[in-house]
Structure 1
Amino acid sequence: MADDQLELRWDPQPGDWGDALRAVTPLYRWSPWFAAVLAVFGAVLVALGEPLPGVFGLACAAVIAALPMLAVSSSFRRNPVAAATVTATIDDSSMRMMTVDGTAYSDLRWSTLAGWLETNRSFVLRTDEATVLFPVPNRAFGAQEERRRFREVLERNVGPAKP
């Protein structure tokens, strides 16, 4: 793909960011499990005749399960550029992303990436800064062939996928 470019286009969604955060951040990855365990303990307490601590445990479990995704959704809504349609041009040197309305532009050079990984929903590109992630959702690809080509570009220029 030396001279060949790959063109992508997608409409970002809060779920893309949630998926990326779950993939690389333990807090987001483990909070549903922690909430589930807390909910089970809360339900057991209610069944054992301890309704006050049991209901408190269930309420805390609900908050722990909901907070990470509410934070992502809230941040997404507050950012005026977050939902703008993105176009990307990928080649062996970088991925150039721009919103369709021209309000944001990024030239992500492969040499600046710390790694990447693939989830069921997207590719997650990571820089050395823990808070800088670039999710590329699967719906950006018109066909499986484009996903395969993108994966090959990443493997060739960044290296193998890293969790």
Structure 2
Amino acid sequence: MPAYKIPESVLVVIYTPQLEVLLLERADKPGFWQSVTGSKDSLEENLSDTARREVFEETGIDASQFLLNDWQTSNIYEIYPVWRHRYAPGVTHNTEHVFGLCVSSPLAVTLAPREHLQYRWMPWQEAADQCFSPSNAEAILQLSSRL
């Protein structure tokens, strides 16, 4: 039996106090830039643990060393058809929970090569413009009002 992804995920916007935002370029879709994102590993995994795990897996950043905030925001969206095979048959929507992680300054990142090609720190408005995901762009645009 294949291990399907759980259709509940986190989106973690990593940013500095100066509102520089970290974006990652997807390895499976070059040109698609995003914040850290990933699904729960199990139904029992709590969302904060999912956020910390995904940040570490995708960037090498230890989120426990910084301020991780659950923004108490979630988005339900249709899973792009190109990625639907990762989910159980009939699953078409995902619930994404938004978190923010404030780091002290732009940090060096250790990418997961199977997931991402490169990373960039950029001003928040520019980062929002680069995101392929509307919910990711919207989360970044909310940064200035959340601080």
Q: Same-fold call, TM > 0.5?
A: no
Greater fraction of residues in strand: 2
Normalised by the size of structure 2, how large is the TM-score?
A: 0.25
Greater fraction of residues in helix: 1
Normalised by the size of structure 1, how large is the TM-score?
A: 0.24
